Amino acid sequence: MDAHAFDLTPEQKDLLIALAGQGVTATCSVPEGPRYGAIELDSNLPDVRIALGGPEENDFTAQVLAAAGPAATIAFDSQMAATGSARIWVPGARSRRESFTPGADLRGPTDLPVLVVAGTDLRATIDALIDRGARVDLADVHGYTPLLIAVQKGFLEAAQVLVRRGADLHRKSKAGETALALARASGNTALVAYLRQAGAAE
C-alpha cells in the first residue's frame, strides 16, 4: 500500500487492519521510499498495490496514472468531479505468468495491478471501501482477529473503529491472548484504558 505520508494516518491504519481481517497480508510504503516487490530482496512478492491519494498528493499515483495512459486519468478525473472520490483499477502491464518469474522485480508503477483510492475526504472514501466487505472478527491462522492485531500494533484509533463495528472484545488468539492482555503486555496505557471502558476483560 503506497500512502502519501510516512506516519500512518488513522484511515490508513484502519485499511491495513481491514485487509488483515480478510486474510490479506499488507505492507505499507511511501512514494519516495523503498517498495516491496523484488524477489532477490524479499521472501515473496505482492499480488496487488493500493495507492492512497490522488496524483497531487501521491507521486506513485501520478506515476501509475501516467503509465496507464489517458483513459485512466480521464476516468479518475471524471469520478473526482462527479462524487469527490475515485476508485480506479489499473491492470498490470503484463500477465501474472509473465511477471512472476525467477529474479522478478515488480517495484515499477505498472508491474502489478494497482487500485487507486482518492477523495476530497479520504477518511470517508476508505471507510466506504472497508464497509464493502470487512469482517471484523475474521481470524488469521494464529487466531488473531483485526482487533487483536490493532492492539498488538498499538493502533488505538483502529481498535476504536473495530469495536464500534462490533468486534468481539473477549475473543482470544490460539495462544489464549485477549485484546486487553495484549494491551497490558505492551504497556499501552491508552489502549488498556479504552478497552476496559469498552467492557473488555482478560
Q: Are 28 and 126 members of one domain?
A: yes
Q: Are 125 and 182 members of one domain?
A: no
- pLDDT in the model for residue 6: 44
Q: Are 151 and 110 members of one domain?
A: no
**Beta-strand (E) ranges in 8-120?**
49-52, 85-90, 114-119
Burial class of residue 3 (count of CB atoms within 10 Å of its CB; 0-12, 13-18, 19+): buried
Q: Mind listing the pLDDT tens digit for each residue in 1-15?
A: 554 444 667 777 777
Residue 138 belongs to a domain: no
- pLDDT in the model for residue 17: 74
Q: Mind listing the pLDDT tens digit for each residue in 157-184?
A: 778 878 887 889 999 999 999 999 999 9
Q: Are 47 and 96 members of one domain?
A: yes
Residue 157 belongs to a domain: yes
Burial class of residue 174 (count of CB atoms within 10 Å of its CB; 0-12, 13-18, 19+): exposed
Q: Is the whole model's pTM more than 0.85, yes or no?
A: no
Residue 4 belongs to a domain: no
Comparing C-alpha atoms, which of 64, 75, 45 is closest to residue 2? 64
CA 118-121-126 angle, to 5 degrees, is 60
Residue 61 belongs to a domain: yes
Q: Are 88 and 53 members of one domain?
A: yes
Mean pLDDT, all residues of the chain: 82
**Domain carrying residue 81:** 10-131
Q: Is the pLDDT of residue 141 over 80?
A: no
Q: Mind listing the pLDDT tens digit for each residue in 67-87?
A: 999 999 999 999 999 988 898
**Which strands form 85-90's sheet, in the order they lie side by side?**
49-52, 114-119, 85-90
Q: Mind listing the pLDDT tens digit for each residue in 27-52?
A: 777 666 666 677 777 767 788 888 88
Q: Residue holding cell 475526504?
A: 121
Q: Are 127 and 153 members of one domain?
A: no
Domain with residue 150: its CATH number is 1.25.40.20
Domain total for the chain? Answer: 2
Q: What's the pLDDT band for 146 if we cut at 50, 70, 90?
A: confident
Pick the last residue of a domain from 105, 131, 157.
131
Specify the amino acid at residue 152. Q
Buried b (16+ CB within 10 A) or exposed e, 4-39: beeebbebbbbbbbbbbbeeeebebbbbeeebbbee
